[in-house]
Structure 1
Amino acid sequence: MKIACTDCGKFKNGDKNWIDEALELGFSYMEIAVSNLPDDESLQDDILSYAVSRGLTLSLHAPYGVNNISSSDLERRASSIANLKHSIDLSARHGLGTVTFHPGRLTTNEEDPNEHWETLMDIVTDIAQYAKEKKVRVGIENMEKRPYELVFTVDDLNRFAHLTENNPYFGATIDFAHYSSHNIGLPNLDELKLPLYNVHLSQNSAAGKMHHSLVCEDGLVDLVEVCRSLENYGYDKLVVLEVGGIVLESKQTLEAALKELEA
């Protein structure tokens, strides 16, 4: 497994210092949220080019938050899909790794989830084909327990499994903190029918707040069991520390959990 940090929200003003700081902390891998890059595309290219030139291996996270690729607001849907495809374009242009993206969700509680799934499937099918054309891996991410979301579990992700037929560029990103919010234990990775291209890891506190440091004392995520699950699965790609606080502490905590498995 390869431990990655995130951009930590450091790039919005075009400042590239975090790239060198991350390298000094011992990180060789970084996942950058495209929404945390400057709006100017030339500045986006400048940051990504510099990171690659310094030896960082990059992956991207497509814009989220207000973005909703299956929104019933057609203008928002179109802009969200365009933002996702722009993320894929950036990855293709700079030779980067997986682009993680959030699945669409309901816009109101009056919408029929079953009908919305049909819309979502059509949109994700288009995204999978676009990724194939651009030769960029994309990972659809499981979401935490919150209103309007539809894709939570391995079973939900498996509804997209047919999109992997003759398409090696479509897969999944598993977020273990998101999974823990459902109180159903760890995902059974052996049941996942999509290739696992990326992993997000942070602590989910007992109060239900995501993205805590891995040193969080009341965290619900069992790090050793997560590591064991990934080792048993044979996972050798990125584990992205989506954490607040001092990222080096989380890196050291994860490394200690991995060593505990080896003991």
Structure 2
Amino acid sequence: MDFLLSSNVLIDFPLKDALEIFAQKKVDGVEIWVEHLWKERSSLEDLRGFMDSMGLKRTLHAPTRDVNITSSNPGIKAESVRQTLEALEIAYRLGIEVVTVHPGHMSSSKDSPEDFFEEQTQALFRIGKKAKELGIKVGVEVMERKPGELVIAPEDLNALLDIVNLDSLGTTFDIAHAATHYKGSIEPAQLNVSIVDYMKRLKKIYNVHVSNSSLEKVHLPLSRGAYDFLPVLKELSQFYRGTVSIEGFVPGDGMRVLEENMNVIHRWKEALSNL
């Protein structure tokens, strides 16, 4: 199993510098966040050649900031879908085969989730159709449990995938998001068991995210939270052959977080190789 680092881990560095540091540290690869890429002055062709020369595996995370593909504001919705489709084009030009996309969310606390199902389906069909044309796969991320989110459980996304019915569209499984369903309600020793059950209810896992977390926070560096999700990764390795992207970053402390994450990754790899 290959472990990629989110480019956000080194968000304080220009993207090309971050890629070079990852290669020097012998990271398997990188999940590039589009917002990080937009700050980079190098051309996409230059970046692709640069990553090819260093042997970095790569995935892409579509834009998330101020983006909502189901916004009740028509202009924001249209622009959000446009930027997501643009991200697929960027992935194609960078030689990336898997892109993570956030589903839409409610625009107001007074909204009803049912009102957005058709909008969500239509947007995801457009995204999946574009991905199919480009020969890439999209993992729609199942989000954390919090107010306003529309896709927070396996069944929420499964229903959408069944309707869209495109092989290009699948799931991004975020282990820290899954944990939000159970933290504080079960014993810590039972948490991984519950997450594995959650994982087995997902369809077509095309990408995986992992970070540590605490009762208060969702995404933390691997060594700075309250949990160890290695048992989940052991179960995942029985059927999943894709990459796992490490999230959780601390602005201004990227190099130390990188070193800490690499220590955990080495431990995880050793444990997984003994299965």
**TM-score (normalizing by structure 2):** 0.84
Length, aligned pairs only: 257
What corresponds to 2:168 in structure 1? 169
Unmatched segments (≥5 aa) in structure 2: 184-193, 250-255
* CA gap 1:5/1:104 in 2 versus in 1, 3 angstroms: same
Which residue identity does 2:259 align to in structure 1? Answer: L
Distance in 2, matches of 1:12 and 1:84, equals 24
Q: CA deviation at 1:148?
A: 0.7
Q: CA deviation at 1:80?
A: 0.8
Which residue identity does 2:171 align to in structure 1? Answer: A
What corresponds to 2:211 in structure 1? 202
1:159 aligns with 2:159: yes
* RMSD (Å), alpha carbons: 2.3
Which structure would you say has the larger RCO, counting Cα contacts within 8 Å and 6 or more residues apart?
A: 2
CA contact (8 A) 2:84 2:101 kept: yes
What secondary structure, in the 3-state scheme, does the structure 1 residue paired with 2:67 have?
Answer: coil
What corresponds to 2:142 in structure 1? 142
Q: CA deviation at 1:46?
A: 3.5
Q: CA deviation at 1:66?
A: 1.0
Amino-acid identity (%): 28
Q: CA deviation at 1:63?
A: 0.3
Q: How does 1:47-126 map to 2 (within 5 A)?
A: 47-126=47-126
Q: CA deviation at 1:40?
A: 7.4
What secondary structure, in the 3-state scheme, does the structure 2 residue paired with 1:159 have?
Answer: helix
Distance in 2, matches of 1:156 and 1:15, equals 34
Distance in 1, matches of 2:173 and 2:72, equals 26
Unmatched segments (≥5 aa) in structure 1: none
What corresponds to 1:180 in structure 2? 179
Aligned counterpart in structure 2 of residue 241 of structure 1, from 246, 251, 258:
246
Which residue identity does 2:211 align to in structure 1? Answer: S
What secondary structure, in the 3-state scheme, does the structure 1 residue paired with 2:50 have?
Answer: helix
Q: CA deviation at 1:229?
A: 2.1
Q: CA deviation at 1:14?
A: 4.9
Q: CA deviation at 1:168?
A: 2.7
CA contact (8 A) 2:206 2:242 kept: yes
CA contact (8 A) 2:15 2:37 kept: no
Distance in 1, matches of 2:209 and 2:154, equals 15
Distance in 1, matches of 2:180 and 2:225, equals 16
CA contact (8 A) 2:170 2:206 kept: yes
What corresponds to 2:234 in structure 1? 228
Distance in 1, matches of 2:135 and 2:159, equals 22
